[in-house]
């Protein structure tokens, strides 16, 4: 009977050194990992993804969304939400609830936002089947 050596073959599959280096780099940069969330917009054909860490606050984020989806978001106020636009930026939090973007401090938002949805005002504000 032929004895087949089952010793582990080291270094297989072959991996180029630059990939090895980048994998190590990613481990080192774990703390700086981005917060990627999906962004959808009512009526848009496909979703996008953004890194929340790229923005310093709500104005920057909203500006980026406006550019991405070619719409205007309106002016935010605590009292009236987003006024002057038929669209409202909303987000799904870790509990699965949909909340209006902008009510909580930015860092709090970043830690609780799971995904974004730019909702058409009629659905966000009006009465929907519950």
Partner 1 sequence: MDSNASGFLLSPSTFHSVYNQAKQDDGVIDLGLSLRTFQPEAYHPSGHSLEGYGDDLIEWPETNLQLKNSNRRFQGLVEEDVDEEAEGIQSKERWAYVKVNMDGVMVGRKICILDHCGYSSLACQLEDMFVPRLGLRLFQARSEFSLLYKDGEENWRTVGDVPWTEFVESVKRLRIARN
Q: Are 118 and 86 in contact (CB under 8 A)?
A: no
In terms of CB distance, is 71 or 112 closer to partner 1? 112
**Among residue numbers 63 through 92, which ones bind partner 1 (CB under 8 A)?**
78-81, 88, 90
The residue to which tokens 């104005």 are assigned: 59
DSSP state letters, 25-52: HHHHGGGG---EEEEEETT-SS-EEEEG
**Among residue numbers 38 through 67, which ones bind partner 1 (CB under 8 A)?**
none
Report if residue 105 touches partner 1, rule: CB under 8 A: yes
Residues in contact with partner 1 by the rule CB under 8 A: 78-81, 88, 90, 94-95, 97-100, 103-108, 111-112, 119, 123-130
């Amino acid at each position: 009977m032929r004895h087949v050596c089952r010793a582990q073959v080291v270094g297989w599959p072959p991996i180029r050194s630059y990939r090895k280096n980048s994998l190590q780099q990613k481990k080192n940069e774990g703390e700086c990992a981005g917060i990627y969330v999906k962004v959808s917009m009512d009526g848009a054909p496909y979703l996008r993804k953004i890194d929340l860490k790229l923005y310093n606050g709500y104005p920057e984020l909203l500006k980026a969304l406006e550019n991405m989806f070619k719409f205007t978001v309106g002016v935010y106020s605590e009292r009236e939400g987003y006024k002057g636009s038929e669209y409202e930026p909303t987000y799904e939090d870790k509990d699965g609830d949909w909340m209006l973007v902008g009510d909580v401090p930015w860092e709090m938002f970043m830690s609780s936002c799971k995904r974004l949805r730019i909702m058409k005002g009629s659905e966000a504000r009006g009465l929907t089947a519950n």
